[in-house]
Structure formats: C-alpha cells, structure tokens
Structure 1
C-alpha cells in the first residue's frame, strides 16, 4: 500500500492541473451513449480536511448514439475523500442543492495495489484480475515532463448499486521521486440485469 503522504501528494498534484479528458463509452444497449466525449476536469481542495471536489464538463457531440441537439453540454461533480483512519480514497456523489458542494452518498472507494509502483511494461500487460477489472494504461507523457522514467500507481474497487455491479480501476502515471501525477486514467465496467457498459477515461495535462 502507498503511504498516506504519497496519497496526499497525489491528490494535491491532481488539483494543480486542469486536465484534458477523453471518455470512451461502450454499451450493449444501442440506445445508450456510445462513442467518444471530450472535455476538461479539475480538482479543488475543500474546507473539510481530506476532501477534493472533482468537476468535469464538455460539449456533447452529435455522434455518440442517440441524436443530440447542437450546443448541449455535459457536466458531473464528485467529492474525492482521503479517509481519516485509512489509506483509502472514496468517491462520493455531490448533493443536489444550492450552496457549497457536499458529499451525498458513496459512488465507490478504491484500494491501491500491494505493488505500489508498477513499471511501464508491466502496467501495459495487465489482464482482469478475477473479481476486479484491469487498470487502463494512462496516456504517455513527453520525456521532458517525466525525466528518464515514470511509474504507474494502480487502484481498484467494486461497488454494488442495488442490482448493478460497478467495477472500477484507476491508474496514475507519476514521477517516482516526487509523486507528481503526469497523466491518469480510469475504467468503469457496469454489469446488471439491464446494463452492460464500459467507460474509459483518459486524462492529460491541459494546454
């Protein structure tokens, strides 16, 4: 498990960047959104210790499945929380209410792999590890951003929402000596009586 200090550095590093987001949507239902979305994402430290507000937004293209009206936008918000008594990160839906954003109910939480830092070639060769899903490969970065090498920090978690199982995996490409996040990615696989979806998000430093 990574140290609490490394996780705090990771979250602080995420909040220091405006991330360019590419989302790939795949669904067994042809009426669901299928295709690629592009947008941006940010993290903002909150007054509550250990909380960061994640915000994403982008324009809705017309080629992701069902017809869309031009000019529509999409957005989401979550609270990322570093546990007070554990080295685990949890992700919470945000209350739909006016005023400061507050955590509502749990989306999922995730634990980091025992092998904390994974070499590049090992990360790229992963397969689904049993009840969990394999972490996606985060975007490559320029050598000038990363020095001579990078490491990948993987994490996974599952969450049952009524009859739907959400299996989630994260991968953070970091600079090993500082813990700074250079790029990252997430993968969500949803299975249920009426659901069969995969969502892959890739985040790169915005320009």
Structure 2
C-alpha cells in the first residue's frame, strides 16, 4: 500500500510529535572486529532550521546510546557514548534521508554570535513505498539470490486498528551497497506512527553487515 500525500504528511509530522523513541538495535557482521550484539538507546526528530532558499519540510533525526559491557569483540569500551544524525525531508510527496553536517551561522541568541545548526550534506536514499512486509519478526529474508531487504514488523502495542507501510532505499558508497527497508505502524484513524522499524544490509568486498532497529514510544 502506498500512502496518499495527506497520509504521508501526517506520518512524517507525527514522528516529531513524540519527544523520544526507544531504540533497540541488533548488529551482525561477518567481520569479528565489528560491533556485534544488541544496543539500546533513544531517537528523536526535531524540526530543521530552514534556509529561506529551501522551503522543504525537514526534520533532524538524532540517536544516542551507551555501549553495554555485553557486546562482542570489537565493541569498544563499555560506557562509551554513541550518537548519529541524519536529515529527513518531505518534498513534493516524497521522503528522503540525507547525511547531516554542521553549518556555522550567526545566531542572535548566542553569546559569542555563533551557533551550530544542522543541514543536509548529501543524499543517503529516497523512500520507495510498497505494500509488502516480512512476516518473520526478525526481518530475515528467505531468498538467496534476491537482494530485496525486508524490515521486521513494528511492535503492536497500543491499538489493533493499524496498518503497516513499508518503504525501501539504497545507497552506493564506493564499492559498498547499503540497502535499507522501513516499516511504519500507523493508526488508521489519525495517521499517527505508533511504532516503526528499519533494517540496513551492507554488502561489499570487505563488508557483510545486517543491522536491525526497532523503535517504540517511550513512557
């Protein structure tokens, strides 16, 4: 099912109406030096300070967490904080995700006349919505040759009057292909996102990673 423009706008804006999403991330890699296991943290969406020359609707996605002492080899020091940011945009009925960078600009409320703001750097991927979602709660894809990536089902916590929208995107970084799949559990009546998930599969000459994320409302 492909959401209408109105429903897509409701879905996009509802992500920022909730202060925090709890994030559970499961990482698997063929490289034993990479981080393995489960991470827990929080994610949030806040409105992007717009450039007057660019009227697109934008959100800053930020995730934060702390390394536990239960991860496998290559995890780094327990207690080490991790954080990442992306820019999500809604423009002309399409959602896109961009890598974020810090722009230095004059801020009227800053004592030194300078403030850090986020802006989009370059495109990660655009959403391509479809109507399929994996019935496997782990998000594992059963095909062997098909590169299609399927997301895990978002948790059903608050209401059974919901529908799930799924989307995919991909990004080539030199020799490494990043394939991503999303699933949003949406209230049929309000268009509010109640939970969502994503999955990133990275394939390359020296990479074979599978990263699954589950997002639920806190509180």
TM bin (shorter chain): 0.7 to 0.9
8 Å Cα contact 1:132/1:157 also seen in 2? no
Residue number among 29, 50, 61 corresponding to 2:68 in the alignment = 61
In structure 1, the partner of 2:34 is: 32
Pairwise CA distance, 1:131: 3.6
In structure 2, the partner of 1:93 is: 99
Are 1:132 and 2:143 matched, yes or no?
Answer: no
Structure with more of its chain in helix, by fraction = 1
2: CA distance between counterparts of 1:33 and 1:70? 12
Q: TM-score normalized by structure 2?
A: 0.82
In structure 1, the partner of 2:200 is: 188
Pairwise CA distance, 1:96: 4.1
In structure 1, the partner of 2:169 is: 157
CA shift in 2, pair 1:94/1:70, >3 Å: same
3-state SS, counterpart of residue 101 of structure 1: strand
- Paired residues in the alignment total 195
1: CA distance between counterparts of 2:216 and 2:94? 24
2: CA distance between counterparts of 1:67 and 1:91? 27
CA RMSD of aligned residues (A): 1.9
Q: Which runs of 5+ in 2 are unaligned?
A: 51-55, 105-115
Residue number among 107, 110, 124 corresponding to 2:127 in the alignment = 110
8 Å Cα contact 1:187/1:198 also seen in 2? yes
Name the larger-Rg structure.
Answer: 2
8 Å Cα contact 1:62/1:68 also seen in 2? no
Deviations 1:18-61, CA, capped at 9 Å, x for gaps: 10000000000010000000000000122333100001001111
User: Which range moved further: 55-64 or 193-202?
Assistant: 55-64
1: CA distance between counterparts of 2:5 and 2:142? 26
8 Å Cα contact 1:128/1:134 also seen in 2? no
8 Å Cα contact 1:53/1:79 also seen in 2? yes
Structure with more of its chain in strand, by fraction = 2
2: CA distance between counterparts of 1:23 and 1:46? 25
8 Å Cα contact 2:134/2:150 also seen in 1? no
3-state SS, counterpart of residue 103 of structure 1: strand
Q: Which runs of 5+ in 1 are unaligned?
A: none
Are 1:5 and 2:21 matched, yes or no?
Answer: no
CA shift in 2, pair 1:67/1:56, >3 Å: closer
User: Which range moved further: 183-192 or 38-47?
Assistant: 38-47
1: CA distance between counterparts of 2:162 and 2:191? 10
In structure 1, the partner of 2:184 is: 172
8 Å Cα contact 1:164/1:191 also seen in 2? yes
8 Å Cα contact 2:59/2:89 also seen in 1? yes
